[in-house]
Each structure stands twice: as structure tokens, then as C-alpha cells.
Chain A
């Protein structure tokens, strides 16, 4: 069949899409070049490569604003994201295992409550949560943020895990049971290793949501030393106004970890978004 042959029309399509993709990346070109130009050049010749790139600006941006350094913010983002994702995987996978294997009416009702939690708009609950967290001493620290994200993203996590466990054959578990293994042993030795693909999806989706979140750390961490990267960039812009080279250095530093991760793990990432949300 010659239908999918590479013809001159295909070539035209390829060139057109490549040009469009280059245009799509123009903001990143502007970001990197403007960051190493003197402040004045950013406006006078926005598309030119910098004559004398000044990488020192990145050291200056790394110092951060009056609200703490970018290094500190990077550390906060890492601790909060990794802590929440680990809690989500531990509590979510075990809960989904019970929900999926128990089945029956109670299992379905609990499953439905979790699924509904995905759609329910959490914004409405933020004020009461803030009041309760403040009383419990959970505002302005890592523990509070990890608890908050673990709770808020539990529905998505349980939903993804349950769908996967339901499709998993029981034969391995039954064999282990016949061999006299207890529930703990079966779950950790047999089931959890089989869940690896969906654990990857859960880690990527929830990790990105938490890492990029701006609203919750703005409300729960503002004014503390534990602000995450997006909030740090926000206060940075507030402090350095129109010094675009400095601002862009901070923006570049803040998106570099995810961009690097994207380049390394894009297959897995695209699979997570394409298949994961489909459920």
C-alpha cells in the first residue's frame, strides 16, 4: 500500500510543522538570550544573540530575593514533592488494593467516593483547612504541606491504582496464599512489584502537579523560609520589577529541573499523560 509513503507533500508537512515547532520554542530562546544580556539590550534587540553573555547574572539570581534564596526554595520544593509522592504511593496503593480486591458493595461505594473526590473542587475547602491546620500547627512547615497534598491528590492516586489492580490477574496472589504467605508479604512481595507501571504514572502526574503548584504554597507558606520555587519566583519578580535579565535567570533556574527531567523521561511522561488520565 502506498498510502503512507513519504512524498513531497509529506515533506512540505514536515517542514511546516518543524517551523511551527520552532516558533513554539521562541519564548525559550528569548528566555535564555535575554537572561544573559545587559538589561537595556533585552528591549532594543530582542532576537539577537548576546554579544557578551553575562553568566554572573545566574549567580546573582541564585541568591534570591529578601524572601530567601532559590537554593532554599529548590530544597523546599524537593522535600515537599518527594514526601507527598511517597506518602501517596504508600497509602494510595494499599488502599486501592483493598478497594479493588474486596469489591462488593462497600468496595464500590468507597471507590465512588474517591472518584467523586477527583471532580469535587477542593478550592472551597481551603479556608476551613487553613483554619484547622493553623490550630494544629501545620501552617508554614513541610509536614502540613505533605499532609495537604497527600489528602488532596489521594482520589487521583486511588483511581489510577484501582483501575490497574482490577485488571491484574489474581493467580499470583492465590499461589502465594496457598504457600502460606500473609497479607503483608503478598502485597509487598507480589502485588506492589506488579504495580510498577502505574506507580510510575502516579509519581509523574502527582509529582508534576505538586512541583508546579503555586496557589497552596502561596496561601500556606508565604512569609516563611519554606516557600517553594513558584512562590520564590513570584516574590523575586515582585522585588526586582523590570530587571528582566535577573528575572529571566530566576525563571530559567526554576524551570530547568522539570525541563531536564522531561528530556530524560519524556517517553514515560507522555505515556503517563496519554494513558494515565484515560484511566
Chain B
């Protein structure tokens, strides 16, 4: 198991970029017909389907009635009054914020820790990154066993003389959401590490040597030199993990199914249940629209803030 440092470098072509763009016309360009299948798929499977989905959010369409009739904002009023939907919204936000912060802090620490000098750095990176490429559903079942009341975690607590701390981690309304968070952070910390390692690669070693000569402490160097130069990697990692957090679904289904008493219900699981289990297509579409707007608003807001920091330093 080895991962070399040059592995995350950019393709050699990227340097040539700026100079070769438009402006030179060497004969006729390729015909639009070549792009037609991709554009057609884009327009139907993305734009048309999403527009239709948004329309259904304002209807009472259900599995029982073949026709959908317009009912205005009734679905959204229902969402505001529905206790389950409100719980799902707050759970999604709490889980996402904690996930994004935890996974990025840990990922950055791992990237800095395995950046260089270590003899086994490639092995360590691979071990941390591996969970990120596996099926979230499948790995969650391992954790369901670990968190079982009779499972390995409580076994360790008993051995350590902390038997009073034993609990059904996923069965407790106050602990279940944080237990899910552990699984998420475990799976994706290595992914954030990879984003930050890619960013660290573009920072020359000489900067650190210069700081050392000037007598700056490592922490000062990190705050004033490394972190600002890591801004693009920060943007990528935060945006990616934000989208991951807001859409969380597989892990919940495998670990808790949304329970106990809705304690781990998220918007994505509610969209699924309302639509496909209860057959309330209109209401499910309204929930999906809320999730979509949340994703769009938060993603754009975060991008705007991070880009501003990238420029302003």
C-alpha cells in the first residue's frame, strides 16, 4: 500500500491553459451535433425533471389519485406544522454543521501530520482514505454492530470499568444523532485529508524554511502562511462535505432507519419515506424542494464567503 506525493499533482497540460483558449480559428470547429445527446440528456433528466418536480410540490398528487391538482402552498404549510418534518430539518442542520466542522478539522490535521518526513506516510494516508470509497450503506452495518448494546463499544467500556456509561447508542433519542455523526466522520475524514494534501502540494517548502529563519513559531507560520495558501482546498473541501452532509441518507437507513422517535430523521430520509413509502408524491416533492433550496442557498452562501476570503486573505 503506497501513495506517492506526486500522486495528487495536476496534469502537465494545465500549465498551458491560459495561452491556448479562444482566438485562433484553424478551420471549422467540430459540429454541435456531437454534443446533442449530452445536451438532450442534460435538458430532460436535469432541467425538465427538476421543473416538473417543483411543480408537483404545489399539488396533492398521491399514489392513490392518478391526477395531480394544484393546491397552492398547502404542502408547505403542512411542513411547517408537521412535527416530524421540523425535527428532520433541525436534525439535518445540526448534523451537517457538526459534520462539516469535525471532518474538516480532522482532515486538515491528518494532512498536516502526514505531509512529509514520515517513513510510512503513504500507508497511513491510504488507511485513512480507504473508507471514503466504500459503500456508505455497507460500512454503516459494521457500525450498527459496534454500537449494539451487547456490542464491542460497550464491551470496551465494561473492561475499562466504565460499565455505567454503557447504553444502546443508536437506540437512545439523545445519543443516536451523535452516534451517526461518528460514523460519518470516520468514513469521510480521509477524503478531506486528500483535498488538503492536494492543496499543501502547491505550497513550496522554502516558505517554511524562510519562516524558521525569521524565528516564527510553527503555529504562527501555519496561521499566517499555510492557512491562507490553503484557501482553495478549503473551499473545495467545505463545499463537498456540506453537500454530503445535507443529503445524508444511506447511513441513516442502515443505522437507525430514522429512529428512535424521529431522533435521526433527516430531510433526505423524510423525502424518501413520504414519497416512496407513504405514496404522498406532492408532499414528498414539497419536502424535496425545501431540501433543494437549502442545498442551493447554503452552498452558494458558503462559496461566496470562502471565495471572498480566498481573495481578501
- If A4-B117, A255-B139 touch, does A215 touch B35 (CB 8 Å cutoff)? no
Given contacts A119-B299, A277-B240, contact A17 B117 (CB under 8 A): no
User: Would you list which residues of chain B between 130 and 148 have a CB under 8 Å from chain A?
Assistant: 130-139, 141-143, 145-146, 148
- Chain A residues with CB under 8 Å of B136's CB are 212, 214
Question: Do A125 and B46 have beta carbons less than 8 Å apart?
Answer: yes
With A14-B120, A31-B142, A92-B38 known as contacts, the answer to whether A98 contacts B31 (CB < 8 A) is yes
CB-defined contacts of A14 to chain B, threshold 8 Å:
118-120
Q: Are B45 and A129 in contact (CB under 8 A)?
A: yes
Q: Which of B1, B42, B124, B145 contacts A266 (CB 8 A)?
A: B1
A8 within 8 A of B: no
Residue in A closest to B54 when the chains form the complex, CB atoms:
A124
Residues from 145 to 170 in B contacting A, C-beta threshold 8 Å: 145-146, 148, 150-152, 155
Residue pair B53, A155 in contact (C-beta under 8 Å): no
Per the CB 8 Å criterion, the residue count for chain A at the interface is 103
Any A CB within 8 A of the CB of B275: yes
A10, A24, A158: the one within 8 Å of B127 (CB): A24
Known: A123-B288, A125-B52, A208-B133. A158 touches B30 (CB 8 A): no
Query: Which chain B residues lie closer than 8 Å to A43 at the CB level?
Result: 148, 150-151, 155
Interface membership of A128, Cβ < 8 A: yes
Cβ of B125 and Cβ of A103 under 8 Å apart?
A: no
A164 touches B11 (CB 8 A): yes
A166's partner among B17, B26, B271 (CB-CB below 8 A) is: B17
- Among B76-84, B92-100, B172-180, B205-213, the stretch in contact with A: B205-213
* A10, A92, A278 — most chain B CB neighbours (10 Å): A278
A66 close to B (CB within 8 Å): no
On chain B, the residues within 8 Å of A170 by CB distance are: 20, 24, 26
- Mark out the residues of chain A between 26 and 82 whose CB falls within 8 Å of any chain B CB in the assembled complex: 27-28, 30-31, 34, 42-43, 46-47
Alpha-carbon gap, A247 to B148, bound state (A)? 14
Q: B195 interface residue, CB < 8 Å from A?
A: yes
Q: Check A254 for interface membership: any CB of B closer than 8 A.
A: yes
Closest residue of chain B to A271, judged by CB? B7
Residues of A within 8 A of B145 (CB): 30, 34, 42, 244, 248
Looking at the assembled complex, report how far the CB atom of B136 sits from the nearest CB atom of chain A, in whole angstroms.
Answer: 7
How far, in Å, is B131 (CB) from chain A's closest CB? Answer: 7
Answer yes or no: B102 CB below 8 A from chain A CBs.
no
B232 located at the interface, meaning its Cβ lies under 8 Å from any Cβ of chain A in the complex: yes
User: Would you give the shortest CB distance from A266 to chain B, in whole angstroms?
Assistant: 6
Taking the complex as formed, is B8 at the interface, i.e. its CB lies under 8 A from any CB of chain A? yes
CB nearest neighbor in A for B132: A273
Residues of B within 8 Å of A129, CB to CB, are 45, 49
Return chain B residues, CB-CB under 8 Å to A6: 117, 119
Nearest-CB distance from A169 to chain B (Å)?
Answer: 5
Category for how many chain B residues contact A: 35 or more
Q: Which residues of B contact A278 (CB under 8 A)?
A: 10, 195, 198, 232-233, 236
Bound CA–CA A34/B155 (angstroms): 14
A125 vs B54: C-alpha distance in the bound complex, in angstroms? 8
B17–A167 touching, CB < 8 Å: yes
State whether A214 touches B249 (Cβ < 8 A). yes
Q: Please indicate the chain B residues that have their CB under 8 angstroms from the CB of A174 in the complex.
A: 26-27
Query: Does any Cβ of B come within 8 Å of A258's Cβ?
Result: yes
Q: In chain B, residues 193-240, which have Cβ atoms closer than 8 Å to a Cβ of chain A?
A: 194-195, 197-198, 205, 208-209, 212, 232-233, 236, 240
- Do residues B30 and A187 form an inter-chain contact, with CB atoms below 8 A? yes
Sample of 8 A–B contacts (CB below 8 Å): A1-B209, A28-B142, A43-B150, A102-B29, A104-B22, A121-B288, A154-B42, A255-B138
Q: Which residues does B use to contact A, with CB under 8 Å?
A: 1-4, 7-11, 13-17, 20-22, 24, 26-27, 29-32, 34-35, 37-39, 41-42, 44-50, 52-54, 56-57, 110, 113-114, 116-120, 123-139, 141-143, 145-146, 148, 150-152, 155, 186, 191, 194-195, 197-198, 205, 208-209, 212, 232-233, 236, 240, 247, 249-250, 253-254, 268, 271-272, 275-276, 281, 284-285, 288-289, 291-292, 295-296, 299
Contacts A21-B128, A94-B35, A167-B20 known; list 6 others, CB within 8 Å: A27-B139, A30-B152, A98-B30, A110-B35, A211-B135, A251-B141
